[in-house]
Amino acid sequence: MSFFPDASTIQAIQNGQFSFAYGPHPLLAILLFLVLPALVWLLYRSTTRPLSPRWKALLIALRSLIAMILLFMLLRPVITTWQVEPQETYLAVLVDDSQSMQITDLEGQQRRLDVITEQLYGDDGILAPLSERYQVRTFAFSDQVRRISDASELSAEGNASGLDQALTQVREQLGGLPLSAVVLISDGADNADADPLLSAREFGADQVPIFTVGAGQTQIPLDIGITDVSAASTILDNTVFDVQVNLAQQGFAGRPVRLRIMDGETEVAAQSIVLGPDGSSRRYELEVSPERREPILYELQVDELDEEIILQNNRYQFLVDNSERPPLNILYVDGHPRNEFKFIRRAAEGDESLRLASYLQTGPGRFYRQGINTPTELSDGFPASAEELFKYDAVVMGDIGREFFSDAQLTLLQDFVAERGGGVLMAGMLDDALADSVLGDILPVTPVRSETLPAFLQGGLRRGNHATGELFAPRLTSAGEFSPLLRLDSDDAVNRRLWSELPALQGIYVTGRPKPGASVLLEHPSLQYQNQAVPLMATQRYGSGRSMALTTASTWRWQMLMSSEDDSHQRIWRQSLRWLAQDAPARVSISFDRQFYNAGDEVVVSATVLDAEYEPDNNALLYLQRTDPMGDVSDVAMTWDIDDNGVYRSRFNADAEGIHRVLVDVASAAGTGIETEKQAAFVVTPSLREYNNAGLDSAMLSRIADASGGRYYDLPQIRQLVNDIEHVPGAFSREVQEDLWDLPFLLALLIVLMSLDWMARRYRGLS
């Protein structure tokens, strides 16, 4: 036995629990240690020879220390700790192998992975001493978990960090073995859907502590990152679309940079910006005009600055599908020929994404059809069956009297919006007889009969000094100013200027107040009804569909009184018609579970099939043909989702980056006339998940450790972990008690103190 405590004893003292083997209650033991100095002091109150206060204090202190050491030894002090038998248990080491481990934010501009590798496998690495006591199993994890044997198998190429998946899979693989503990090394930036604390608590319940080690800096000091890009996934009219970009930065406040949108090697949009304050995130908007009719993969780029630590998040790819597609079918019905109808028709005819089939009453019992696909279309007037009406995506109605519709047709129109998901626009005057019909329920304004209005609000188009027939410049509301229906330019100031230059309208049909939930986009600048500005254009959701009210018949003035080159009238009407119709579901529609994918992700393709009455069709037979970016084609069957009527799904993994195309072939037993093929596209892009919010999340790692009974360490502290693991209680550790009373240095200390006491007493002549 060595004179001083050896390393194992010191480690036991640091990590174990101290107690007295023969000790009374802890409070009584403390009382005894306090009583001893008091007794010694009483004994030295009177001495055979007079003593100075200093000598008395010295002798009392020496005797008290001797008595307390003797009491300490008699109570038999012990340290209780926990140990495992060498090589009888297992230890799992999980190493984060995701792309964020490539970040060079550690001392000396080192990659996280390089420092971790050195700490594990280097000359002073922890795996060697851990392997002396445990059977160590090492795993690399990212979006997958795999066993590794040496540092060469770590690549930092995974595009996700799934902490819960890593813990779950290790638990499954080593569940039948005596597992003492788990070491988890990561930056803690979990980007999977599952909560790792659930797995940590399961390990804790099994008395398997998790020791977490954090790698990286809490905040990346120098970085510009694209955090989000929002753009239309599909466009209908082959015209411009807006791209909104969220840009975050740290360490480059006030620096000028340039945003670019690239189509291959061609720059299609650019904007110079000045970065905001450190730690801020700002939104920018660019306008793009697609070059060709197909799915186009764009790349957004921001200047790479020399000092940046992460460059991968300076690029972001997104897909916009500009493929040719069938036009939206819109039915227009009007009670008499109007200038409004003529110019609306011209606007629609100039847009290949729209087909306007019109049914115009030209006189008593006389009707005129335009834009029809077949001789029989609309031959019997307004559709009288769901199969006929539901072929359209939207219905626009002009000045129509109540006699135009039967009660069944009005009910059918209500089903068209609420159930079919179509759109309805009332453009012009609403017949008083229709105010109390279901059409009044559909519209975003509350219809009122004209005779119930104040006299100055009646008339609509009456000339002279009548208020509702006067010229007026419609006023954009705050909702209308930013609505995609009414945008004339992406720049707010330019948009306001263009609206101010439009000719005045003449005549407004006054309705009641907007309904709760409706959005008023345009309103009369001066007329009010019930203390509220009279709405000119309002929209709302109704059931599965949409409705709009436009209470004037003079928007044709925006065309006739402007130069022939001005397209404001056409643009407003095209945007409004597309808004009405574009959300109406097709008989066959394709959707994906994500906006974009990264290499190796599972793709879930869903196809929704509706029958002729737009009810879910569960009796269809579907096959999916997939074409990857290399042109390789594969066929996959789609199966009906028993929990979701009319929905069929297929799952596969996407490996190659680029545009993937899918074609769904449908055969239905529910009826004829269904589309037999439907095409769509999705994109597999380089992952940014590991480079956004890539700072060390020590709080997450600490919670995982606490939930399991383990401890958290920063990477420089990792060597401390080697000694701590052994002394933390676990399912396969045994309790060990080590006596402290017989330590040689305690006996030596007692002899020294007794000798000093004897010499002091002899020197002062005491017995």
CA distances from 91 to 84, 273, 676 (A): 11, 52, 57
User: CA–CA separation, 539 vs 551, rounded Å?
Assistant: 12
Residue 342 and residue 476 share a domain: yes
Q: Tell whether the model's pLDDT for residue 10 goes beyond 60.
A: no
Q: What is the CATH number of the domain that holds 573?
A: 3.40.50.880
Confidence at residue 465, expressed as pLDDT on a 0 to 100 scale: 64
Q: Give the 3-state secondary structure of residue 31.
A: helix
Q: Above pLDDT 90, what percent of the chain? A: 51
Tell which residue, 530, 548, 528, 546, has the closest CA to residue 538: 548
Confidence at residue 502, expressed as pLDDT on a 0 to 100 scale: 96
User: CA–CA separation, 623 vs 604, rounded Å?
Assistant: 14
Residue 562 and residue 608 share a domain: no
What's the mean pLDDT in 550-568?
A: 92
Amino acid at 7: A
Confidence at residue 72, expressed as pLDDT on a 0 to 100 scale: 75
Confidence at residue 433, expressed as pLDDT on a 0 to 100 scale: 82
Q: Please report whether residue 323 resides in a domain.
A: no
Confidence at residue 365, expressed as pLDDT on a 0 to 100 scale: 79
Q: Which tokens sit at 134? A: 């445990």
Q: What is the CATH number of the domain that holds 632?
A: 2.60.40.1930
Q: Judging by DSSP bridges, how do beta strands 423-427 and 394-397 pair with one another?
A: parallel
Q: Tell whether the model's pLDDT for residue 474 goes beyond 90.
A: yes
Q: Please report whether residue 626 resides in a domain.
A: yes
Q: Judging by DSSP bridges, how do beta strands 658-668 and 677-685 pair with one another?
A: antiparallel
Residue 439 and residue 421 share a domain: yes
Q: Which tokens sit at 684? A: 């597999």
Tens digits of residue pLDDT in 428-467: 888 888 888 899 899 999 988 888 888 788 766 654 567 8
Confidence at residue 234, expressed as pLDDT on a 0 to 100 scale: 73
Q: Please report whether residue 193 resides in a domain.
A: yes
Tens digits of residue pLDDT in 365-392: 788 999 999 999 999 899 999 989 999 9
Q: Judging by DSSP bridges, how do beta strands 90-96 and 179-186 pair with one another?
A: parallel
Q: Give start and end residues of each alpha helix (H) in 520-634.
A: 557-560, 568-581
Residue 290 and residue 201 share a domain: no
Q: Which tokens sit at 227? A: 């955090």
Does the pTM exceed 0.85? Answer: no
Q: Which residue has the higher pLDDT, 183 or 611?
A: 183
Confidence at residue 161, expressed as pLDDT on a 0 to 100 scale: 87
What 8-state DSSP symbol labels residue 274?
E
Largest CA distance in the chain: 142
Tell which residue, 269, 264, 265, has the closest CA to residue 294: 264
What's the mean pLDDT in 671-679?
A: 66
Tell which residue, 737, 736, 730, 647, has the closest CA to residue 211: 730
Q: Tell whether the model's pLDDT for residue 427 goes beyond 70.
A: yes
Tens digits of residue pLDDT in 649-674: 999 988 889 999 999 998 865 545 45
Tell which residue, 248, 220, 100, has the closest CA to residue 160: 100
Q: Which phi and psi angles does 225 have, rounded to 5°?
A: -135, 135
Q: Which tokens sit at 206? A: 């099994």
Q: Tell whether the model's pLDDT for residue 1 goes beyond 50.
A: no
Residue 699 and residue 675 share a domain: no
Residue 193 and residue 97 share a domain: yes
Confidence at residue 690, expressed as pLDDT on a 0 to 100 scale: 85
Q: Give the 3-state secondary structure of residue 160.
A: coil
Q: Which residue has the higher pLDDT, 84 or 369?
A: 369
CB 44 within 8 A of CB 35: no
Q: What is the CATH number of the domain that holds 170?
A: 3.40.50.410
Amino acid at 316: Y
- Residue 548, strand partner residues: 425, 539
Q: Which phi and psi angles does 757 have, rounded to 5°?
A: -65, -45
Q: Please report whether residue 180 resides in a domain.
A: yes
Average pLDDT, the chain: 86
Residue 260 and residue 186 share a domain: no
Tell which residue, 445, 434, 439, has the closest CA to residue 521: 445
Beta-carbon neighbour count of residue 285 at 10 Å?
Answer: 14
CB 273 within 8 A of CB 280: no
Tens digits of residue pLDDT in 169-197: 999 998 778 888 999 999 998 877 788 99
Q: Give the list of residues 6+ apart from residue 70 with CB closer than 8 angstroms, or none.
A: 750
Phi-psi region of 380 (alpha: psi -120 to 50; beta: other; left: phi over 0): alpha
**Domain ends where: 581, 596, 625?**
581
User: CA–CA separation, 625 vs 681, rounded Å?
Assistant: 11
Residue 512 and residue 452 share a domain: yes
User: CA–CA separation, 546 vs 518, rounded Å?
Assistant: 10
Confidence at residue 83, expressed as pLDDT on a 0 to 100 scale: 63
What's the mean pLDDT in 339-354?
A: 90
Q: Please report whether residue 408 resides in a domain.
A: yes
Q: Which residue has the higher pLDDT, 614 or 79?
A: 614
Confidence at residue 470, expressed as pLDDT on a 0 to 100 scale: 87
Tens digits of residue pLDDT in 680-695: 999 998 888 888 888 9
Confidence at residue 344, expressed as pLDDT on a 0 to 100 scale: 93
- Tell me which residue range forms the domain holding 465: 328-581
- Residue 540, strand partner residues: 547
Q: Please report whether residue 2 resides in a domain.
A: no
Tell which residue, 520, 604, 502, has the closest CA to residue 557: 502
Beta-carbon neighbour count of residue 14 at 10 Å?
Answer: 12
Q: Tell whether the model's pLDDT for residue 516 goes beyond 60.
A: yes
Residue 453 and residue 332 share a domain: yes
Q: Please report whether residue 321 resides in a domain.
A: no
Tens digits of residue pLDDT in 136-160: 999 999 988 999 999 999 999 888 8
Residue 228 and residue 156 share a domain: no
Beta-carbon neighbour count of residue 509 at 10 Å?
Answer: 23
**Strand order through the sheet with 210-214:** 145-148, 135-141, 90-96, 179-186, 210-214, 712-714
CA angle 344, 420, 596 (to 5 degrees): 90
Q: Which phi and psi angles does 513 have, rounded to 5°?
A: -75, 155
User: CA–CA separation, 698 vs 213, rounded Å?
Assistant: 9
Q: Give the 3-state secondary structure of residue 689.
A: coil
CB 156 within 8 A of CB 102: yes
Tens digits of residue pLDDT in 97-129: 999 999 999 988 899 999 999 999 999 899 999
Least confident of 5-19, 354-368, 371-385, 473-487: 5-19
Burial of 516 (0-12, 13-18, 19+ CB in 10 A): exposed
Q: Tell whether the model's pLDDT for residue 550 goes beyond 90.
A: yes
CB 186 within 8 A of CB 214: yes
Q: Give the 3-state secondary structure of residue 453.
A: coil
CB 399 within 8 A of CB 433: no
User: CA–CA separation, 30 vs 170, rounded Å?
Assistant: 47
Q: Please report whether residue 320 resides in a domain.
A: no
**Domain ends where: 655, 685, 715?**
685
Beta-carbon neighbour count of residue 576 at 10 Å?
Answer: 27
CB 513 within 8 A of CB 446: yes
Residue 374 and residue 296 share a domain: no
Tokens 């209680």 found at: 729
Task: Look at the chain and report how many structural domains it folds into.
Answer: 5
Q: Tell whether the model's pLDDT for residue 763 goes beyond 60.
A: yes
User: CA–CA separation, 425 vs 375, rounded Å?
Assistant: 26
Q: Which tokens sit at 491? A: 């720049």
CA neighbours within 13 Å on the CB side: how many for 258?
Answer: 6
Tens digits of residue pLDDT in 584-599: 988 899 999 988 888 8
**Domain ends where: 524, 557, 581?**
581
Confidence at residue 200, expressed as pLDDT on a 0 to 100 scale: 94
Residue 535 and residue 418 share a domain: yes
Q: Judging by DSSP bridges, how do beta strands 328-334 and 354-363 pair with one another?
A: parallel
